[in-house]
Structure 1
């Protein structure tokens, strides 16, 4: 008879086995050094880390992390960020991930975290747990010679400047800059000291070798760092002695349009570069329209990215701001897991501030908790979801009212895989 694996939070003695199982689950080399275990152990809280154990061996992994999620209006909402979900191939289809997810969501709700978030490796998995796709991502490959830009660009004309900097400089200025950017970017999450250690080479991981990229910053006319980019170049054989260099952007954050524009212009003007890979960008990023010929930017990826699950509807909806003037909307939210369902009155003021409270009033709209997750950060249209039959309208015009309230001028974006 096949035994049922035991699911529990980790003890210190479980960590090495858990790390091996996680790496194997993601098709990475399962042999792991003591240094790798120690480095990864620094990232997680054992009380939020689960494993499934069969005859003493870890066969499934799951953990969550506390994060601050920026919502429309700039408020930060406490979020449970789910990551490292894996099930060993020998133990699939036994409900292990479902059991760990249920335990984690219940614990997050008990802790008072209004939402849970994750980056889905596969689209069909997480809707059944009440998650909805809340942000999307785009990657572009730019044919630089066809981009229609002046390659003689010599720097910003606004009094600012672009400078190459060292990794030590990045460790000093990067965290504060990112916090400024996060505060005005719905969908962004905070970066921990561990994140900066891993991504600046201070904390090496055997399974994720780090090679130092080039770092460049934009400083405004007053000398303040308003932008940061990391990039690497790969040189190919030059056919016919024509330059052929591929530039990969590992990340670009900017606190102003001037900084964003200057950094892209710098990267696109580098000598010998014929192909630029943008890396993960917001789906409505400025980049393609900065080109003289936007057709030079070929969409390599356009896909869902961060998924969101409501755990406390009143707290989550009250935290963000809304457009569309003063309004009242009654939402009937269906949650088969019983964590966040109910009927709620959302009332917004002329300033965009809102309150959300339970109500027994008749519903204007009814929808699943997953579809409310799609709407929460402003990326999806209630009118479109109604056309798909995923939102039911009980008062004529309610979907349009919801659309005017929830939608945001720019699309939300999560710059980080987590």
Structure 2
């Protein structure tokens, strides 16, 4: 997945470590895995650029220094003929919203590379194992990452947990917004400068993310990078259009950020507007922001790069067929359960019931047989049990089910969940289903 505006290397991305085993790593006596010191940041950044096939990008040490946490930036050092970094790894703690609006602490994995000369040696397995063990010891419920390649992270217990979902709208066919949509009486929409966005955006996002399962916190550096307060080597940031919506009382209830590609053909405008960020706390705010986006002069196509899978945008149009799925729609954030009772005790459930899950976890964190018991008030708990299992599944499938991104019947149809009791997948789905599909708009 190519980096977007901001740090040149983000996301739980990896150039791959093949199928190398930890045993293979142990045989390489000259390779040491350890946290780096702050003085080693420039060398770590150089190894990161090399691992991501971008040695030409300028040094980003000062940016990484702002994110430095002792013990959380790891590297593999090859000591022959002299010590040098041949793999990188970084993690940090963030808040993840779960169904029901509560949050859990998540170990966010990013900046994962293995230099091409050292693939197939089990370095990624060793780095990942060390980080997940440490996260579990800190009491972290889950780990998350954004996978550049689909086939890598299932080995470590991660499963797809949110989707990147967007739309491309042909304005010549859309016919504008339908009449009678919810409005925000007395509300107004105005463009904002970048300083105002840095000031007002974080509070708005903190309110919004608690309404969206799968959303994560945005640290101050996120806002600095996307408003030009900080620039990153190799980045392509240009000041975008950002509009804020306020209700009748003056409270900010929404934000939209977009850029416009200035295209003219045969003397006529054929511009493309691309929405990069869209936050709305209520339906009236969403109507106002979409009205702005869909009515910009000279624009003939609107591209919404990522919006919630449940967002009704096409249905807001007079002609929903004018909205076609964005070409980059795919799995996005992956999740790994580290503490089963803590993770499943934090979220809410759709119905009362009980299902026994037998989880296979080669790394051991979620291994075992677990009874998920839910009450009529939506609360639930997950405890170890010796009872006969209803469903058999791997820890990756457990991660896909956790936020509601997948259903147990669909995973069972794919052979990723096995029913030990007929009808158990449908019964589990009644408990785990969510009114809003998980979505995380932010790469990290």
Q: Which of residues 110, 134, 141 is equivalent to 1:83?
A: 110
Structure 2 counterpart of 1:38: 62
For the residue of structure 2 that corresponds to 1:301, the secondary structure is coil
Q: Cα offset for 1:394?
A: 2.2
CA distance in 2, matches of 1:111, 1:144: 50
Structure 2 counterpart of 1:292: 318
Q: Which of residues 136, 146, 154 is equivalent to 1:109?
A: 136
Structure 1 counterpart of 2:440: 414
Structure 2 counterpart of 1:332: 358
TM-aligned CA distance change 1:150 to 1:342, over 3 Å: closer
Q: Which of residues 414, 419, 427 is equivalent to 1:388?
A: 414
Q: Which of residues 206, 217, 226 is equivalent to 2:253?
A: 226
Q: Cα offset for 1:24?
A: 2.6
CA distance in 1, matches of 2:49, 2:319: 42
Structure 2 counterpart of 1:258: 284
TM-aligned CA distance change 1:3 to 1:172, over 3 Å: same
Q: Which of residues 76, 88, 96 is equivalent to 1:61?
A: 88
Q: Cα offset for 1:356?
A: 1.3
CA distance in 2, matches of 1:82, 1:298: 32
Moved over 6 A (4+): none
CA distance in 2, matches of 1:272, 1:293: 20
Indicate if the aligned counterparts of 2:177 and 2:317 stay in contact, CA closer than 8 A: no
Structure 1 counterpart of 2:17: none
1:49 aligns with 2:73: yes
- Unmatched tracts of structure 2, length 5 or more: 1-26
Q: Cα offset for 1:91?
A: 1.6
TM-score by length of 1: 0.94
Structure 2 counterpart of 1:146: 173
Aligned CA RMSD, in angstroms, stands at: 2.0
Indicate if the aligned counterparts of 2:187 and 2:248 stay in contact, CA closer than 8 A: yes
Indicate if the aligned counterparts of 2:164 and 2:330 stay in contact, CA closer than 8 A: yes
CA distance in 1, matches of 2:378, 2:417: 23
TM-aligned CA distance change 1:384 to 1:157, over 3 Å: closer
Aligned residues: 413
For the residue of structure 2 that corresponds to 1:332, the secondary structure is strand
Q: What are the superposed Cα offsets for residues 298-339 of structure 1, whole Å, 9 maximum, x if unpaired? A: 222221011000101111011100002x21111111111112
Within 5 Å, give how 1:200-239 maps onto structure 2. Answer: 200-239=227-266
Q: Which of residues 226, 230, 240 is equivalent to 1:199?
A: 226
Indicate if the aligned counterparts of 1:20 and 1:31 stay in contact, CA closer than 8 A: no
Structure 2 counterpart of 1:282: 308
Indicate if the aligned counterparts of 1:283 and 1:302 stay in contact, CA closer than 8 A: no
Q: What are the superposed Cα offsets for residues 90-122 of structure 1, whole Å, 9 maximum, x if unpaired? A: 222211111101111111101100100001001
Within 5 Å, give how 1:369-380 maps onto structure 2. Answer: 369-380=395-406
TM-aligned CA distance change 1:288 to 1:190, over 3 Å: same
CA distance in 1, matches of 2:138, 2:434: 29
Q: Cα offset for 1:140?
A: 2.1
Indicate if the aligned counterparts of 1:20 and 1:32 stay in contact, CA closer than 8 A: no
Indicate if the aligned counterparts of 1:243 and 1:272 stay in contact, CA closer than 8 A: yes
Q: What are the superposed Cα offsets for residues 251-275 of structure 1, whole Å, 9 maximum, x if unpaired? A: 1111112212221221110111011
Indicate if the aligned counterparts of 1:70 and 1:185 stay in contact, CA closer than 8 A: yes
TM-aligned CA distance change 1:220 to 1:172, over 3 Å: same
For the residue of structure 1 that corresponds to 2:329, the secondary structure is strand
CA distance in 2, matches of 1:260, 1:29: 42
Structure 2 counterpart of 1:270: 296
Q: Cα offset for 1:285?
A: 2.1
1:405 aligns with 2:413: no
For the residue of structure 2 that corresponds to 1:195, the secondary structure is helix
CA distance in 1, matches of 2:28, 2:387: 51
Bigger mean CA deviation after superposition, 89-98 or 187-196? 89-98
Within 5 Å, give how 1:296-315 maps onto structure 2. Answer: 296-299=322-325, 300-315=327-342
Structure 1 counterpart of 2:274: 248
TM-aligned CA distance change 1:8 to 1:278, over 3 Å: same
For the residue of structure 1 that corresponds to 2:269, the secondary structure is coil
Indicate if the aligned counterparts of 1:134 and 1:373 stay in contact, CA closer than 8 A: yes
Q: Cα offset for 1:171?
A: 1.2
Q: Cα offset for 1:69?
A: 0.4
Bigger mean CA deviation after superposition, 141-150 or 309-318? 141-150
Indicate if the aligned counterparts of 2:158 and 2:396 stay in contact, CA closer than 8 A: yes
